[in-house]
Amino acid sequence: EVQLVESGGGLVQPGGSLRLSCAASGFRFNSYWMNWVRQAPGKGLEWVAYIKRDGTETNYVDSVKGRFRISRDNARNSLYLQMNSLRAEDTAVYYCATENGLARFDSWGQGILVTVSS
């Protein structure tokens, strides 16, 4: 059974940093692109970042470029999102998701809440 479990969320002040982790199990982790998708309270889904199978290529939504960094450790079946210079508008539930074809997110974690507030 595919499992994705996010951790590392919480309350952080504006300008602060947070590192999210996603532990994967039940599938061949290194065979999939991985993504972070977020959802602000009461809002829709927004793709944040992707990383290809071997980690050699990444991309980000414009609003987080230069502040967020996605990475993966295929030996540990883990995905990460380092978030720096956090802003109030980064407040959201963050989901990790497998991508099995462009924009085809087959499996999702349960989500982790990140709140940026003073």
Partner 1 sequence: QSVLTQPPSTSGTPGQKVTMSCSGSSSNIGTNYVCWYQQFPGTAPKLLIYRNNERPSGVPDRFSGSKSGTSASLAISGLRSEDEADYYCATWDDSLNGPVFGGGTELTVL
Smallest gap, in angstroms, from Cβ of residue 13 to partner 1?
Answer: 26
Q: Is 68 in the site for partner 1 (CB under 8 A)?
A: no
Residue 111 in the binding site for partner 1 (CB under 8 A): yes
DSSP string, 3-47: EEEEE--EEE-TT--EEEEEEEESS-GGGSEEEEEEE-TTS-EEE
Site string for partner 1, 69-98 (x = CB under 8 A): --------------------------x---
- Give the shortest CB-4-to-partner 1 separation in angstroms: 9
Q: Give the count of alpha carbons within 13 A of 112, CB side only.
A: 21
- Of the candidates 40, 34, 12, the one whose C-alpha atom is nearest the C-alpha of residue 22 is 34
Asked if 102 touches partner 1 (CB under 8 A), the answer is yes
- The answer to whether 16 and 40 have CB atoms below 8 angstroms apart is no
The residues of the shown chain that bind partner 1, judged by CB under 8 A, are 35, 37, 44-47, 50, 59-61, 95, 99, 101-106, 108-111
